[in-house]
Amino acid sequence: MGPDIKEPLTLPCGLVLPNRLVKAAMAEGLADKGHLPGPRISRVYGEWAKGGWGALLTGNIQVDRESLDAWKQYADACQEYGTPAIAQICHPVRQSPRGAGEWGLCGQTIAPSEIPLHIGDGVAASIVRNVVFGSPKGMSQSDIDHVVGQFVNCARVLAQCVFSGVELHAAHGYLLSKHFLQSNTRHDQYGGSAGRRARIVLDIIQQIRNVVPATFCVGIKLNSADPSASDFEDTMSQIQLFGNAGVDFLEISGGSYEDPTTQSTAAREAFFLDFATQTRERLPNIVLLLTGGFRSREGIEAALKAGVCDLVGIGRPAVLRPDFPQLLIDKTYSDQEATVAFSKVPIPFLARLLQIRVLGGGAETEYFQGQIRRIVAGLATYAP
């Protein structure tokens, strides 16, 4: 019999989460000048801070930037009422459009192997891909060392700013995702066997551990849709390696910018339970956070009680109801009231016509970022 929603959880590093509900990472689209967090970020996280969550995962933070005061205010806004804030850190690589961040318009992004981003099957998708994203350059050893250093430095700065931990984003098409872990075609120490493909992640975990306090949590997010059936055993052995390297939790989500339909087609609440169940059975000692599709007390309780996961991650419902945990935990609300239901955001006609899947996923993101902006403005949110 698994835990109750309101049961606290102590992570291996000693960080205590007051309950099992984690606000999932959602890029807010609210960065101020210089890509730094400012008052708008503090306002929305101030609402989540009051919501009674077990932990707040921030929207993804690109590892290139630092500025202590701004990040400290961000951490303070999240943690004002004692909820631990875990910053999600990532490197966008192939998903960087030309001109983003410090890439010039003619600049080339980097990636483990020279495989371009796949955003759809049609001719239009391939033209848009070439114009907007270009083709990445395969990373040299010094590129890899540089990126590892960026992740480590970012975690060090975030620990100084009193974030409670970091989560490495190894899902949704970012640098540490399947492009390193699965479809990497390198012939050096970062390619080949499952262990070698995981090496960059293991290096980052180990080096972060060397520069942050022992109580600072380090988690990792993977996408259940990334490994194909033939990659499955390799993925399980990589997860085991992350566990041996001392990650405090493993988050599993579904969907990808490259294939957003997987996030929206399943009718059940947790649409990738099978992957999670296998992970749980084979690697029972890893703290498992399952994210995607949780909408109701009944669904969340069922997953926790069945022992499928230790924590549930909640994304879009947390936007529509920043105080969702209060509804879930307070049993004076009926099961029917403790639900956030909503329909799928329609895929724009142009995206359907041109078969550009990333635009379909973009509509969902854009809708919920619009709702986040409503929270910042003190307005009520509404479901799609």
Ligand X SMILES: Cc1cc2nc3c(=O)[nH]c(=O)nc-3n(C[C@H](O)[C@H](O)[C@H](O)COP(=O)(O)O)c2cc1C
| Token pair recorded at residue 45 | 């996280």
Give the span between the Cα atoms of 323 and 321, in whole angstroms. 5
Distance (Å) of CA 303 to CA 3, 89, 240, 246: 10, 27, 22, 25
Identified binder of ligand X from the candidate list 315, 322, 360, 362, rule CB under 6 A: 315
- The two three-digit tokens of residue 165, written as one number: 């931990």
**Least distance in angstroms from the C-beta of 354 to ligand X:** 22
Which of 19, 253, 262, 279: binder of ligand X (CB under 6 A)? 253
Q: Which is nearer to ligand X, 139 or 170 (CB)?
A: 170
**19 vs 291 by CB, closer to ligand X:** 291
Q: Does 96 bind ligand X (CB under 6 A)?
A: no
Q: Which is nearer to ligand X, 27 or 211 (CB)?
A: 27
Residue 361, interface with ligand X (CB under 6 A)? Answer: no
Structure tokens at 262: 């997987």
Taking the complex as a whole, the smallest distance from the CB of residue 297 to ligand X amounts, in Å, to 14
Contact pick of 11, 13, 24, 327 for ligand X (by CB under 6 A): 24
- The reply on whether position 27 binds ligand X by CB under 6 A is yes
26 binds ligand X (CB under 6 A): yes
Rg (Cα) of the chain, in Å, rounded? 20
Asked if 165 interacts with ligand X (CB under 6 A), we say no
Among 209, 221, 280, 357, binds ligand X (CB under 6 A): 221
Q: Which stretch binds ligand X (CB under 6 A): 2-10, 25-33, 200-208, 239-247?
A: 25-33
What is the spatial distance between Cα 87 and Cα 167, in angstroms, rounded to a whole number? 6
Residue nearest to ligand X (CB): 315
The count of residues interacting with ligand X (CB under 6 A) is 25
The answer for 14, left when phi > 0, alpha when psi is -120 to 50, beta otherwise, is left
Q: What x/- string results for residues 42 through 81 when contact with ligand X is judged by CB under 6 A?
A: -----------------xx---------------------
Per CB under 6 A, does 95 bind ligand X? Answer: no
Separation between Cα atoms, residue 352 and residue 368, nearest integer Å = 20
Residues in 167-186 at the binding interface with ligand X, rule: CB under 6 A? 169, 171-172
| AA letter at 134 | G
191 and 184 Cβ atoms separated by less than 8 Å: yes
User: Judged by CB under 6 A, does residue 40 bind ligand X?
Assistant: no
User: How far does CA 323 lie from the centroid of its chain?
Assistant: 20
Does 297 bind ligand X (CB under 6 A)? Our answer is: no
- Give, as ranges, the residues between 363 and 382 that touch ligand X (CB under 6 A): 364-365, 368-369
Question: Up-side HSE of residue 340: CA atoms within 13 Å toward CB?
Answer: 24
**Cβ-based nearer residue to ligand X, 25 or 181:** 25
The footprint of ligand X on residues 338-357 (CB under 6 A) is none
Non-local CB neighbours of 20 within 8 Å, separated by 6+ positions: 3, 4, 5, 6, 7, 9, 54, 300, 304, 310, 311, 312
User: b/e per residue, 104-124, with b = 16+ CB within 10 A?
Assistant: eeeeebbbbbeeebbbbeeeb
Give 314's strand partners.
23
18 binds ligand X (CB under 6 A): no
Read off the tokens for 167: 């989560």
Structure tokens at 137: 């350059």
Which among 94-102, 153-161, 200-208, 286-294 is the span making contact with ligand X, rule CB under 6 A?
286-294
Task: Please give the backbone phi and psi of residue 3, each rounded to the nearest 5 degrees, phi first.
Answer: -75, 165
Q: Which of 120, 292, 322, 362 binds ligand X (CB under 6 A)?
A: 292
Residues 221, 214 contacting (CB under 8 angstroms): no
The residue (of 49 and 318) whose beta carbon lies closer to ligand X is: 318
Q: Which stretch binds ligand X (CB under 6 A): 75-83, 211-219, 280-288, 362-370?
A: 362-370
Per CB under 6 A, residues contacting ligand X are 24-27, 59-60, 88, 169, 171-172, 221, 253, 263, 291-294, 314-317, 364-365, 368-369
